[in-house]
Structure 1
Amino acid sequence: MSQYSSCTASTPESSPVAAAPLVPGRWVEVRSLGLADYETTWAYQEELLASTLAIKTRNRQAAEEGRAPEPTPNYLLLCQHPHVYTLGKSGKPEHLLLDAEGLARHGATFHRINRGGDITYHGPGQLVGYPILDLENFFTDIHRYLRLLEEAVILTLADYGLSAGRIAGLTGVWLDFAEGAPNPRKICAMGVKCSRWVTMHGFALNINSDLSYFGYIVPCGITDKAVTSLQQELGRAVPLPEVEQRLVRHLAHVFGAEFYVA
């Protein structure tokens, strides 16, 4: 079993998000799915979500009967997807600039989904993470949850010498993020759903992505900012397993948890 401890990274002093202290017994199982079909992975998320919600329902009854609760699990699914565009609940269909023929020509599919946010792209060379966490095992604050996901990505990019951060009002992680910077570029998109404090969907970090596919959408509904990747910024391809390992280590740190691969 590979294990990632929260003790292996540090949060920059300038960060607005404090890392959580390690809580004994707080575990997250990491499942790497490789190149995975989008719809299949979505159904898998829904399955894990439903299973966790069922435990929480049983725990409510147990509490009424004075019985001890059953612990709820936490998961992190990591994968890449074949070329696919997904549109969140608040998204605008016109932000997809391809018709059915155009999608087929580019080997891409399109799905309307139940996360927040607008339209985004997933494809080979992009690291996609789907945390299925019971936030009642951590904290019940969805905004803090999003900020901690961003923080783990920011720390990962710092490992490669890149200064990344947030832009006020825009979820995700950016380069040239300071107000007035000439060329702000999004490198990681995020969109989540939360049901009874159990999360699904998550983040997409561009590593060796084919950025031309972003040219066929209005990414996240934002018209005046660019998209980039780790490869674009460094001028070389970066092994995805290397980035995955670093990112999981930073997630363990900011969430004060033990992440493990069974």
Structure 2
Amino acid sequence: MEYKKNQIVKGDVFKHLKKIDFKFDLIISDPPYNQINEKWDIFKSEKEFFDFTFAWIDLAIEKLSENGQIYIFNNQYNSIKIANYLLTKGLKFQNWIVWNKKDGFSVSKKKFVSNQEVILFFSKSEKFKFNYDEIRIPYESLERIEHANKKGILKNGKRWFPNPNGKMCTDVWEFSSERHNKKVNGKVVKMLHPTPKPEKLIERIILASSDENDLILDLFAGTGTTSFIAKKYNRQYIAIEKENNYVSIIKERLK
């Protein structure tokens, strides 16, 4: 088949990654975690899961532009191994981002209760774009900032005034999970996809790590949130998704 920009591609990621001849400025991947009871997330063993994971990572790296960046979602345990593998492939570590989901969680009495997912941020080289001003976040101490706006705060012999757009974004992100964002009458309802990512979260990644007309790969696209946000901000995209029902959802969403 002929691959085009702004296209939704149905099928196996291995098949398509081997054939796509584009280089991507940004890859956002929300792959299987090997932890939920869905046919696309079930593996016979941990070895099979990581063989699968490292194989698609190898192909994805080949499709990164020289200044390209990749963000990979996963749980904490898997992310340890994925991060180490990315380092062995020569990618440059930038951030281990903690996503505080503000979600319900399973109580554990043997260890600290987990309420986070990890987003690994790596680049192909040390030269890459990062639009830090596009992703500033609100200051927390409003009273202190109000005072600083008037007279500034003395730092190292100079007066510092707050940026009107907020402070620099940290590597701990607080976004409520989509199942809580989409409650109906205060109740959690069944989602179209079991693990959708919040639009605001994907928006932060795209604004930080791409410019208009850059090409983004939406890998394991799910319901196409990455492609949807890419289109919203005038980026180009290619989405790869295997499941028929999700491909249909992406097409309707992009209309």
Q: Which has the higher contact order (CA 8 A, sep 6+)?
A: 1
Shorter-chain-normalised TM-score: which range? under 0.3
After TM superposition, the score normalised by the length of structure 1 is 0.27
Higher-strand-fraction structure: 1
